[in-house]
Each structure stands twice: as structure tokens, then as C-alpha cells.
A and B are shown apart, each in its own frame.
Chain A
Amino acid sequence: MISAQLPALQVVVPLLAAPLCLVLHRPFAAWLLTFVVSGISLLVSIALLGQILEQGVIDYTFGGWAAPFGIAYHIDFANAYVLLIVTAISTVVSIFAKRSVASEIEAHSQGLFYTAWLLCLTGLLGITITGDAFNLFVFLEISSLSSYVLIAMGNDRKALTAAYQYLIMGTIGATFILIGIGLLYMLTGTLNMLDMAQRLVAVADSRTARTGFAFLTVGLGLKIALFPLHLWLPNAYAYAPSAVSAFLAATATKVAVYVLLRFMFSVFGIDFALGAMPLSTMLVVLGSIAVLSASTVAIFQHNLKRMLAYSSIAQIGYLILGVSLATPAGLTATLLHLFNHALMKGALFLALGCIAWRLGSVRLEDLRGLGYRMPWTMGVFVIGGLSLIGLPLTAGFISKWYLVLATVERGWWPVVLVIIAGSLLAVIYVWRVIETAYLGKTQEAVSGTEAPLSMLVPAWLLAIANLYFGIHTELSVGIASQAAMVLFGGQP
């Protein structure tokens, strides 16, 4: 029965494909394998979601070893949803990657590039699907190490510094997470997250539990790039290859947010995480500062990839604000925005990838008149930008609607103002680009106009998804609210 083995396939297929990719080495073969494997992973995650819709949860034990001894995968609405986001983005972006990577990375290292891509995918999927805390750490390291490699492959020499910076920060984060998991293991004697949750109830009121929680939160804060632990992110996104920026921006931080939610709600429980610990206050303050400061900084960026990176930090602020509300509505808003933000940032980074492919630069001043030279590419940017601002009929509006509503329900008016101020700042940094592209003085004619179809089609796929999920929200809102209910129910 293959359907019973789907949880294993989700991780094993990309994991085994990675060394194969290294052996194949030829750029086209490596790309094809990456695309096919991403596609298979997407199908697997859709099938998994279908099973979840039928039966609620899936428990899978690796090799048939029962939970406390073997590694158990536990899949419910929350992680099936994140798996879908990760695999869908990887598939769409891998189509885009072929031409983009060919222009940015030398032929002999493209095989390595795709190997790292597959490993990163493996890591992200593993983190999401596993129900074992140590296994989670292992996958976290797999994804982190491979993403350092991916970033370092950027064609600017500064990519090396950026990757190094991320390596240091990421390692500190991973160490904190490991210490946190270690403390929990010490306290509960188990690494299985289900068991951990049960045993923690009795010993929650101990210094070890609180310390472990603090270590985990700070470590994950680094991986999430939560203000003020975000300093690695702008350079990493700015200097990474275009396809990598799109892939990581849409998935990596999302997965880290998922892990934080998993530990907060499923392992420690909401009463401990947001009640006994002062996390709610901390998150609301840090989230607000992230929204306001990062949006403001984004306005002054000339490198547009950096601008989007700062915008990502601001959007992470929104995610965190939703969590800090500590209500099902707030959590729904966070999970919904997880998905919608992946769509909009994916579309925007792909549009920038097309621009980089054509101009070799993503600096604002080089975009003058580009609206007429690359109308389809700029079309994607405009749609993604409007979604980022949160105009009606775009996915971003749905996110904002739920987030503001959840905040109003809670009566936190200052936070409402922060959210609104954030979207007004987004108007400014998005419109700078649109104004320059359409109203800037056109430079001398450049031969060739649009990016190739293999790059435009995935970009438009994401742009259309932004519009689709702004009108039809049964899927996104439906699953997000189910996932929020699962997390709030305290079930891992």
C-alpha cells in the first residue's frame, strides 16, 4: 500500500534524489531531477492533505518501531498545510530556476547547486513532518547547511560574507534549539513530541522547563528572523541567487514559524507558553517594532532584493502579532498569512529574478522605464506589490482582514494602528518601484525585452495565485482555521 507510506516518501524521495543529483552533475539532468522530485513531493503532500481531510491525523512510525524508541511522524492539519506550501513553492520556483540559475551560476557548479536545493527541500519537509524533537533538529541542520551553500553561490562576492554571517547566526540559533531540546529531554526523558507534551504537564512549573522554553524560543527567533534577531536576513536574501531568494523567502522562515507554533501550542501548551511565560507581551512588542522599523528601512533600500528582504522581516512581524493575540482568530490569521505571504513574496522575488536575468541588476535606478520594456514582468511585480499592500481581491487583503479583525476582537487598538501603519509604509516602498518603472525616464533602447517564458510562466502562476486566493478562500482560510483549531486544541 503506497498510500500508507506517503509520510516516509515525503522526506525520502528528495533525500535520495540529492546524491543522485550530485552524480548526474550535468546542469540539465540535475535541473530535471530537481523539478521532477519537487513535483512528486507536491503530489505526495497533496495526497497527505487528502488523507488528513478524511481521517484527521496520520501517525507513522519509521521501520515499524513504536514511538518512544523509533522515530514517529505525526501529521495533522497544521503541518500538512505547511508541507503543501513548501512543496508547491519548490515546484514553481524550480521551473523558474532553469534559466535563472544558468545565467547566474557557472555550469560546473550547477549540479552542486541542485543537490543543495534538494537537501534544503528535504530538510524543510523533514522539520515540518516529524514528530520527534531530535529528528527535527537534524533536519533543521540539513536545511540550514544546505541553505548556507545555496546563498554562497550568489554571483556577487558579497554572497560569501552574507552566507558566512547567516552561518554564524544560524549556528547560534541551532545551538540554542539543541540546548532547549536537551533540557526538555532531561526533564521528560523522551524526544517524541506527543509524549513530551503529556509529561511536561506535571513538571511545567520548573526552572528547567522555563529555561528550555526560553532557549527554544530564542533559537527559533533567530531562524525566523524575528526582530531583533533578523540581521542575517537582508544580506542573505539580497546576495543569494534569484531563485534561492524566492525559494527561501517563501519557505524557510515559514517553516521556522511553524516549529515555534508547534512547540508553543502543542508541546508546552498555550497556558504555559502565553500564560505562565510573558511571551505574549514580548511577541506583541517585538512584532510591532518589526513591522514598523523594517517597513521604514525598506523604503530607503536601493537594491530591490534587499527591500523585499526588509519587507519580509516586517511581514514576519505580522505573523508574530497574530500569534501574540493568543486567540484562535489570531492564530488563523498567522497561518493564513504564512500561505499568502509565500505567494506574494514568491511572485515578487521571481519578478526580480526576471529583471536580474535581463538587466543583471535589481537596483531601483536601473528600472527606469522598465514597465514598457518588460510589461509582463512588471505586471507580476504590480500584482505582487498590490497583494503586499493588501488591496482587495488579492491574497494580502484576506490576510489583513483576518489579522485586523482578530486584533479588533481582542480590543488591542494600538496593534490595529501598527498593522495599518505597516500597510501604508508598504504602499510607499512598493509604489517607489512602480513609479520608477512606469514614469522614470527611459534609458537608451536595450536589445531584447522580456524574460524567457520558462521564467515568466512560474512568475505569473504565483501572481494569478495571489488573485485567486484573494477571491476564493475556501482552501486557504479553510485549512488555516482547521490548523489553528488543531494547534489550539493542544494536540501535537
Chain B
Amino acid sequence: MSDSMLFLIVLTPFIGAGLIVVTGNRPNLRETISVATGLLLLAEVASLVPDVLAGETPDLLLAIPVPGVPLALQVEPLGLLFALIASSLWIVTTIYAIGYMRGHHEIHQTRFYAFFAIAIGATMGIALAQNLFTLFLFYELLTISTYPLVTHAGTPEARRGGRVYLGVLMGTSMGFLLLAVIWTWHLTGTTGFKAGGILAGQASPLVIGILYGLFVFGIGKAALMPFHRWLPAAMVAPTPVSALLHAVAVVKAGVFAILKVTVYIFGIDLVGGSTASTALLWMAALTIIGASLVALYQDNLKRRLAYSTISQLSYVVLGAVLANAASISGAAVHIATHAVGKITLFFCAGAILVATHKTRVSELDGLGRQMPLTMGAFLIASLSIAGLPPTGGLWGKWYLALGALDAGYGILVGVLMLSTLLNIAYLLPIPLRAFFGQSPKTTVQFNEAPLPCLVAIGITTAACVTLFFFPGPVYQLAGMLIP
């Protein structure tokens, strides 16, 4: 039963996309189908939870395109966690998108919802991939299906953004990732994810190091410097896309893939001991600090958030490369907590755009009196990104710091602390200016974003706080990764 459920999970969004296209000229029905597909998908994913908690890993073989390299699905704790995050946030984002797309009078809305659904289908495929080949397939599908969303506006700026987006993501994946996949197959004769890894004892430390580098840089969606430029470029997309795809689905697919490769292809023993991992640790630390510094100087709100995402993604990369029980758990938890935090921030940015047509941080003075709910949510989500109580963002950072100490890298704790300070420096001034800054207009009246947007913001903000008090379920799944 749960075997065929895997196939249904990947298939459901695609069927949803088909129905969205068919009902394209009846917007209400179209959006109902969007939400219904999301609910169905979440129910399907949730039905796997008991099996996984019981320690089972149902799998399903779909096809064998190349002998020995099957197209197959399998669920394990990390994949389930990722699928749960993406599918539940998809519902919230769809609700948000209804308010945003209509409020902002966007064109080509049917195309938007259809490709959105396909992108989620690809994300599910990544989450449930049983082997590297399947992962690669859905990884590329995700790149292709999000391209029309990034270039949605069709302006010359969108075209330029789309070029950078596609160029970096495809360049890294075809240049490094595919090579790494084929090389792994050549070395081991398999591409399947297996507890404990498949590469141990199959190659010299030098080859392992090069291969790990190819994987980490080849998974460009993780936005590790110097392959991070696509993420700010993708900000030309409509805000729901930036929120769900470029704060959650696409970027998390990247760091998820790195975690998965670390745990199930290399095995943490192999990564933890290698010299390449030291170099990658510093690269991740550099990205954390560097991207935060760049974020300080971004006046465009969405770009500032994008650089913040680049920085936060490297937390997960750091956790993967540190490769011990605490750091891997911390990385997995951080995927969840950063997802709800950052999506809230993007929702707020979009709400501001719809209500006031403002995109710059410097224009937001005094906005708190006009949009108190939005800016209040922004404040809470900012705390979550910085990793301060009472928000869930604390836990990921906590375990990452523990992992760094376990691995003997006390200095990385310093990096995390510095990053927290920088997060505060580039995020908190925004709500502070909004609430305490002097508005240029003399009369300010209450003028919030459309109701669906506020509902979505409310849900994700609540999730930020809830994860602080009840991180249990997330931590339970994350803890199952390393027995």
C-alpha cells in the first residue's frame, strides 16, 4: 500500500497541473483545484509517517532506463521531513498566491499555477528519490519547471534573471553533478542510497575528496559560493515563487541533496575524516559570513532576503560536512525551521508590494502603522532566522553548534555567533524602521494586504513560534538519520 503511495505522491501534483490547465478560464475552480491538490498531497505524505517512524523504508521501482540504474522511489526519515515541509507549505503558499496574484493583477495565472504544481511534483521526486539517478532526474526537472516561473513577467530583466538562473543551475548540475553520479556508478556499480554509504573502501582518499567536491558544488541549488548568483537573479519572479521555491522547495532540495549524499552515499565516517571536508567547511563558513555582509548592503528587500537565504543554506552545508550525529540532526532541523521563517519573510515582502507597491527597505519607514500585522509577523520571522527565542530557529543553530564542538571546530561556533549578529543587523532594522521610523506621509491609515495573504502569513508565523515549543516531531525524524 505505502509502496504505491510513493508513486501517487509524485503523480498527484502533475495531475493537479493538468487539471489546472483544463480549468484555466475559470479562476475560482482553478484555484480550488490547486488547494485541493495540495491538501490531498499533504494527506498522502502524512500517511507515510507511521511506517517511517516504525523504521520501515517502503520503496517502489518505476522503470529501468539503463541496466543497473533504476528509476525508483523510496522514503526515509530525511526525505519524509522534506516532503512534509514542502507539501504543507505549498498549501499555505497557494492560499497566499490567490491573494497576491489577483491583488497584483498578474498575467498568465494559469501557467503560473500549473508550473508551480509541476515544480512541487519534481520536489516530491527529489525527496523520495531512491538513488542518485532518480534524484538527478527530478533535480533537472525542478530547474526546468521553475524557469517559466522565474521569467514570469517576461520583461528584459526577467529574461536576464532567467539566463543566470538556468546557466548557473544547469552549468553546475551538468558539469559537476552528472559527472559525480556517473563516476560513483563507475566506482561502485550502483547509485542507490544506502544507510552507511556505498563509497567506503571503493576509492582512494584523493578520489573521494574530488568526488565530494563535485557533489557539493554540483548541487548548485544549495547556493554555496561561488555558485550563488542564481538566487538573487531569481528574485525577479513573483513573490509566491520566491517564497516557496526560492526559500523552501528549490534551495532546500539543494541542501537536502547534499545531506542525503553525505549520509547515504559517502557515509559520515568517510566525509568526516577527509581533507576535502576541511576545505568545504571553510567555504561554507565563508558563504555564511560573506552572504550576510552582502545582505547588509541590499536595499531591495527581496534581494536582501535572497542573500540571507544563501547564508542560511550554508548552515546546512556546514552541518552536512561536519558529518557527526549532532550536526546532521541540526542541519535537518534547520531545513525545517529556516523554511517556515524565510517563507514568512517573503510573504511579508510580497504583502508590502501588493499593498503599497514598495520594494525597497529605505521606503518602509513608518509602514508599521499601516500594516501592523505584516510587520509584526516580519519581526517574529526575523527572530527565527537569527535563531533567537521564542522561535524555532534556535534549535537548528543549537545542534549545529553542538556538532561543531563535537568535531573539534570551536571556531565555527564563533562563525555561527557572528552570523547571528549579522542576521540581527540586516533583518531587525526593517521592522524597527517600520514601527518607529517617521512616515513621509502625514496621515497614515490601516491598509493591509489581501485577506488570503494575511491568513498565509498568520499560519507560517504561528509555525515559527510553535517549532520553538514543540520541536519534538521534527527532531524525532532528524534524529533517525544517524542511528
Contact = CB atoms under 8 A, between A and B. Distances in A.
A185 interface: no
B159 A435 contact: yes
B40 interface: no
Interface stretch (A10-18, A28-36, A73-81, A468-476): A468-476
A404 interface: yes
A477 B65 CA distance: 9
Interface string A457-484: 0000000000000111100010000000
Contact of B148 (A389, A390, A438, A471): A438
B65 A427 contact: no
Contact of A470 (B65, B154, B167, B179): B65
Nearest to A427: B170
Interface in A388-431: 389-393, 398, 400-402, 404-405, 408-409, 416, 420, 423-424, 427, 431
Given A392-B133, A420-B178, A420-B179, A427 B67 contact: no
B136 interface: yes
Interface stretch (B48-56, B182-190, B256-264, B362-370): B182-190
B65 A473 contact: yes
B140 interface: yes
B137 A398 contact: no
Nearest to A413: B179
A424 B170 contact: yes
Nearest to B151: A439
A324 B185 CA distance: 22
B63 to A, nearest CB: 5
Contacts of A120: none
B175 A473 contact: no
A227 B179 CA distance: 26
A405 B186 contact: yes
A386 interface: yes
A405 B163 CA distance: 29
B65 A471 contact: yes
Given A420-B175, A424-B175, A470-B65, A408 B159 contact: no
**Max count, chain B CB within 10 A of own CB: residue among A386, A420, A427, A439:** A439
A474 to B, nearest CB: 9
Interface string B70-89: 01000000000000000000
Nearest to B69: A401
A469 to B, nearest CB: 9
Contacts of A435: 151, 159, 162-163
B182 A392 contact: no
Interface in A42-98: none
A439 B170 contact: no
A400 B179 CA distance: 11
Contacts of B186: 405, 408-409
A409 B159 CA distance: 40
Contacts of B170: 389, 424, 427
B144 A473 contact: no
Interface residues of A, number: 28
A400 B66 CA distance: 12
Given A439-B158, A471-B63, A472-B65, A404 B178 contact: yes
Contact of B65 (A389, A398, A416, A423): A398
Contacts of B162: 435, 439
A227 B421 CA distance: 59
Interface in A361-394: 386, 389-393
A400 B175 CA distance: 12
A431 B159 contact: no
Given A392-B137, A424-B175, A405 B159 contact: no
A405 B182 contact: yes
A144 B298 CA distance: 63
B65 A431 contact: no
B355 interface: no
B166 interface: yes
Contacts of A389: 170, 174
B171 interface: yes
A416 B65 CA distance: 22
Contacts of B167: 427
Contact of B182 (A391, A408, A470, A477): A408
A405 B185 contact: yes
Nearest to B108: A372
Contacts of B144: 386, 391
Question: What's the dominant secondary structure at chain A's contact region?
Answer: helix
Contacts of B71: 471
Interface residues of B, number: 31
A420 B182 CA distance: 12
Given A471-B71, A472-B65, A404 B182 contact: yes
B159 A391 contact: no
Contacts of B179: 404, 416, 420
A409 B182 CA distance: 10
B182 A424 contact: no
A451 B173 CA distance: 36
A370 to B, nearest CB: 14
Nearest to A403: B182
Nearest to B185: A405
A431 B166 contact: yes
A472 B158 CA distance: 37
Nearest to B159: A439
Nearest to B71: A471
Contacts of A423: 174
A446 to B, nearest CB: 19
A221 B148 CA distance: 42
Nearest to A478: B67
Interface string A184-206: 00000000000000000000000
A367 B66 CA distance: 36
A172 B65 CA distance: 42
Interface string B132-161: 010011001100100010010010001100
Nearest to A438: B148
Nearest to A395: B65
Contact of B174 (A416, A427, A470): A427
A405 B67 CA distance: 13
A405 B185 CA distance: 9
Interface in A429-461: 431, 435, 438-439
Contacts of A470: 65
Contacts of A402: 66
A373 to B, nearest CB: 15
A39 B401 CA distance: 69
A448 B333 CA distance: 55
A427 B166 contact: yes
A409 B186 CA distance: 7
Interface in B75-120: none
B136 A424 contact: no
Contact of A408 (B63, B136, B183): B183
A115 B431 CA distance: 78
Contacts of A471: 63, 65, 71
Contacts of B171: 424, 427
B45 to A, nearest CB: 23
B166 A439 contact: no
A408 B158 CA distance: 38
Contacts of B148: 438
Contacts of A416: 179
Given A408-B182, A420-B174, A424-B175, A392 B166 contact: no
Contacts of A391: 140, 144
A391 B151 CA distance: 21
A216 B129 CA distance: 49
Nearest to A481: B67
B252 to A, nearest CB: 21
7 contacts: A389-B174, A393-B141, A408-B186, A420-B174, A431-B163, A435-B162, A472-B63
* 10 closest cross-chain pairs (CB), A and B: A392-B137, A408-B186, A404-B182, A391-B140, A471-B63, A439-B159, A471-B65, A427-B170, A439-B154, A420-B175
Given A392-B137, A393-B65, A472-B65, 9 more contacts: A389-B170, A390-B174, A400-B178, A416-B179, A439-B158, A439-B159, A471-B65, A471-B71, A477-B67
